């Protein structure tokens, strides 16, 4: 934008006579140092001194213009030569030259004699022309004083020095960014304009300020300001690494042309019979010849060293190949990035993955494409980490071989830096660890199996202890009661009244039924585990069956309520249904606090009957509602006074399955547990006259009749 506005303003200055005034040209010139200062604040280069020197030099140039073009107005007399304006003009060059030298020192901290010699050859060649056509006529002018001669010769000499340091900047190491080309264009515009002005002055022509030379100087200002404003101005000071020339023939042609300038000028002068500058031209030719010889000597040394290094590299490469190709792993060197190329891959790639060296190296995407998708991100992240500063990369991933076989690869690599220390290549080794992974997998499975077996054994051991404790408790308690009652009756000498004796006998019968129920449960569980139990179905009155069971299970600690809307008949095994009801009610009594009500419901359905036993106890946790029907499985709450064997609910589920139904548990509305058993094959019947619909007192439950 700055350059465009400046060129448009310059076009107005050149094409519109009304605007061809000094202040407009001074504004264009003054914009350059202002742009440089703004650029330094905007882009913040590492070293600001060179750019501030450029700004000072441009400002001195503007000051020289103002004084020179307004000398008579300021001092009231004609402009002399030299004047104070020449002091400002000549002070411009040291600022610009020192600023460029600071950039060169920053870009090339080491010795770079080659680019220095090349720049001297070009500068001396161009300097020959400046001497012959500019400085020599001034030196021979008899009408000029010594101060005038020195001042007049100082301009082309300073232009030549500025051109030489810019050529040195161009020939040295480092990037050639847009800012460099803008600066080189500015120096070229200044050199050509100054050369034209000095040449016509030497010829005795008085410049009439037509604007053409002002356009050249204004171009110098604008291009230098644009060079500062471009973001690439920061790269002018970045240290560069020495690289091979991309176009060595161009450099050779340029140097040859520069070295031929002096003898060519001498030849032209001899044809014109003007050979007054022979000593100077001869000296320039001799210096150029010496520089060329020195340069060629360096090239010869470089070639000899290059050949020696090349031979050593070939020997080292042969040893390296012999070493890596004998390793039982894939050795590689590759570039970084998605589309990076493989620089080397050892022949083992074919034995590991099935691809030849040529196939693998010709397809940069092959490695990423063959990695198993689940492992691709992990492998790419490992490469990214080494780019971000990790010293070594280690990762494992799965990759598909050419035949589709999954191969486990363990990759270890490290970055190979370039001259600036940045990661340039990735050198590493890929090991086939498929067999190791398979062994690890088998060991892991064996360990898991062992852990599971140990866990099962521990569980079985705990279940065995719990079972033995529960069985011994359930056997000992009724046996103790039976033995106590029997001994009391045995030792009775007629002092017990009939009611007490009857109560003892009733207790013995109740405890005997408990023993019978426990042994029956154990035997049923054993028979069902062997698959030798089948239901003996018959159409029975389930209402009467359940009533009978509840009479036997009646207890003073828990109120039991039978809730039946109508008598229900079903084609079932009555004995097994009795066992289902008995175990559900016994379970509710065992695992609920005393006084907890228990409800038994029976519903007839189209496809069977639904038996529900509910209580208002603590309920069953969700995580146990599936496993509670497994053998020897109990809830979280252990009842110390009556631990139980843990097979009652298992028998309920198995009896239901034998009928083709199922058993499950839900949460009761209002809190507690709701055990449900569905038995297919039920059908409602008309209510017998002897049955009532409800009975709430467990001692008044319906009798079998």
Q: 105 pLDDT exceeds 90?
A: no
C-alpha distances in Å from residue 307, one per residue of 112, 244, 315, 318, 632: 21, 16, 12, 16, 88
Could you give the percent of the chain with pLDDT greater than 70?
Answer: 79
Q: Which of 144-158, 363-377, 492-506 is predicted with the least confidence, judged by mean pLDDT? A: 492-506
Nearest-CA neighbor of 171 among 113, 106, 215, 86?
113
Give the number of residues written for the chain: 705
Instruction: Give the pLDDT score at 302.
Output: 56
Report whether CATH 3.30.565.10 matches the domain 534-700: yes
What is the per-residue pLDDT across 2-20, written as a single tens digit (0 to 9) for each? 999 999 999 999 989 888 8
3-state secondary structure of 620: coil
CA distance 551 to 601: 15
pLDDT at 92: 94
What is the per-residue pLDDT for 67? 92
Angle, alpha carbons 109-113-114 (nearest 5°): 115
Q: Is the pLDDT of residue 700 over 70?
A: no
Most confidently predicted of 112-121, 412-421, 549-558, 687-696: 549-558
- C-alpha separations of 681 from 39, 482, 528, 609 in Å: 96, 41, 22, 7
635-663: average pLDDT: 70
Highest mean pLDDT (candidates 196-210, 297-311, 338-352) = 338-352
pLDDT surpasses 80 at 408: yes
Least confident of 317-326, 388-397, 670-679: 317-326
H and E: helices and strands count for the chain: 22, 14
Domains of the chain, residue spans: 2-243, 260-316, 325-432, 439-509, 534-700
Question: Which comes out higher in pLDDT, residue 703 or 271?
Answer: 271
What is the rounded average pLDDT of the residues 610-634?
85
Q: What is the mean pLDDT of the chain?
A: 81
C-alpha distance across the termini of the chain, in Å: 112
| Alpha helices (H) in 491-573, listed in sequence order | 498-529, 542-553
Confidence bin at 190 (pLDDT 50/70/90): very high
Architecture of domain 325-432: 2-Layer Sandwich (3.30)
Highest mean pLDDT pick, 50-54, 144-148, 503-507: 50-54
Please compute the mean of the pLDDT values over residues 504-527 and round it to a whole number: 75
C-alpha R_g of the chain: 55
CA atoms within 13 A on the CB side of 9: 21
For range 621-634, the mean pLDDT: 79
Residue that wins the pLDDT comparison between 476 and 126: 126
pLDDT tens track for 561-585 = 998 878 888 888 888 888 899 889 9
In contact, 582 and 569? CB cutoff 8 Å: no
- Inform me whether the pLDDT recorded for 687 exceeds 50: no
Is the pLDDT confidence value at 172 over 50? yes
**pLDDT 10s digits, 133-156:** 788 888 888 888 999 889 988 999
- The listed CATH number (1.10.287, 3.40.50, 2.30.30, 1.10.8) that belongs to domain 439-509: 1.10.287
Pairing between β-strand 598-605 and β-strand 560-564 as defined by DSSP bridges: parallel
Lowest-confidence pick of 82-91, 199-208, 285-294, 514-523? 285-294
pLDDT tens, residue by residue, 275-313: 556 566 667 666 766 666 566 665 555 556 667 777 888
Dist CA 613 CA 609 (whole Å): 13
Residue spans of beta strands (DSSP E) within 546-689: 560-564, 568-572, 598-605, 608-615, 662-667, 673-680, 682-684
- pLDDT for 697 beyond 50: no
Question: Which pLDDT band, with edges at 50, 70 and 90, does 178 fall under?
Answer: very high
């Amino acid at each position: 934008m700055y350059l465009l506005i400046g060129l448009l303003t310059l076009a107005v200055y050149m094409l519109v006579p009304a605007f061809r005034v000094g202040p407009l040209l001074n504004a264009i010139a003054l914009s350059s140092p202002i742009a440089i200062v703004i650029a330094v604040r905007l882009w913040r280069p590492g070293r600001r001194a060179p750019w501030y020197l450029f700004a000072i030099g441009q400002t001195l140039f503007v000051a020289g213009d103002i004084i020179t073009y307004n000398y008579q107005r300021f001092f009231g007399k004609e402009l002399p030569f030299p004047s104070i304006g020449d002091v400002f003009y000549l002070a411009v060059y040291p600022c610009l030259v020192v600023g460029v030298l600071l950039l060169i020192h920053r870009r090339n901290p080491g010795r770079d004699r080659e680019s220095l010699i090349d720049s001297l050859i070009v500068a001396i060649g161009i300097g020959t022309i400046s001497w012959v056509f500019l400085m020599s006529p001034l030196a021979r002018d008899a009408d000029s004083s010594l101060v005038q001669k020195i001042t007049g010769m100082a301009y082309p000499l300073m232009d030549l020095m500025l051109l030489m340091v810019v050529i040195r900047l161009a020939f040295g190491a480092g990037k050639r960014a847009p800012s460099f080309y803008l600066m080189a264009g500015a120096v070229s515009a200044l050199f050509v304009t100054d050369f034209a002005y000095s040449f016509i002055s030497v010829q005795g022509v008085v410049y009439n300020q037509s604007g053409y030379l002002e356009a050249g100087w204004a171009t110098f200002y604008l291009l230098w300001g644009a060079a500062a404003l471009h973001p690439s101005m920061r790269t002018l000071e970045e240290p560069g690494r020495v690289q091979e020339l991309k176009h060595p023939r161009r450099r050779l042609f340029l140097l040859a042309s520069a070295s031929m300038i002096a003898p060519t000028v001498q030849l032209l002068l001899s044809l014109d019979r003007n050979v007054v500058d022979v000593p100077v031209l001869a000296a320039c030719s001799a210096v150029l010849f010496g520089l060329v010889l020195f340069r060629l000597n360096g090239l010869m040394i470089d070639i000899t060293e290059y050949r020696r290094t090349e031979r050593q590299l070939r020997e080292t490469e042969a040893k390296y190949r012999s070493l890596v190709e004998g390793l039982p792993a894939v050795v590689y060197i590759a570039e970084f990035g998605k589309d990076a190329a493989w620089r080397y891959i050892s022949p083992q790639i074919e034995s590991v993955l099935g691809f030849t060296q040529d196939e693998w190296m010709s397809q940069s995407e092959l490695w990423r494409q063959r990695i198993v998708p689940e492992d691709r991100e992990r492998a790419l992240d490992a490469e990214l980490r080494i780019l971000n500063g990790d010293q070594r990369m280690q990762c494992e991933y799965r990759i598909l071989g050419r035949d589709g076989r999954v191969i486990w690869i363990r990759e270890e690599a490290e970055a190979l830096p370039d001259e600036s220390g940045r990661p340039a290549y990735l050198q590493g080794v890929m090991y086939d660890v498929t067999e190791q992974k398979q062994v690890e997998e088998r060991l892991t499975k064996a360990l898991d199996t062992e852990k599971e077996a140990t866990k099962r054994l521990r569980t079985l051991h705990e279940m065995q202890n719990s079972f033995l404790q529960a069985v011994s408790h359930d056997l000992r308690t009724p046996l103790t009661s039976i033995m106590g009652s029997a001994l009391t009756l045995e030792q009775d000498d007629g002092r017990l009244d009939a009611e007490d004796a009857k109560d003892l006998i009733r207790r013995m019968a109740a405890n005997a039924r408990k023993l019978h129920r426990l042994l029956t449960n154990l035997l049923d569980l054993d028979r069902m585990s062997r698959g030798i139990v089948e239901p003996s179905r018959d159409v029975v009155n389930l209402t009467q069956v359940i009533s009978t069971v509840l009479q036997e299970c009646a207890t003073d600690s828990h109120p039991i309520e039978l809730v039946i809307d109508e008598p229900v008949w079903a084609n079932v095994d009555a004995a097994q249904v009795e066992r289902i009801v008995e175990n559900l009610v016994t379970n509710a009594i065992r695992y609920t606090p005393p006084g907890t009500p228990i409800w038994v419901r029976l519903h007839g359905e189209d496809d069977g009957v639904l038996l529900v036993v509910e209580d208002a106890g603590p309920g069953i946790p969700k995580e146990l509602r599936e496993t509670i029907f497994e053998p020897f499985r109990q809830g979280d709450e252990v009842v110390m006074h009556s631990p139980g064997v843990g097979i009652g609910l298992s028998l309920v589920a198995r009896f239901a399955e034998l009928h083709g139904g199922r058993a499950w548990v839900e949460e009761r509305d209002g809190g507690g547990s709701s055990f449900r058993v569905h038995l297919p094959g039920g059908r409602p019947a008309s209510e017998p006259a002897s049955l009532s619909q409800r009975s709430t007192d467990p001692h008044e439950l319906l009798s079998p009749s």
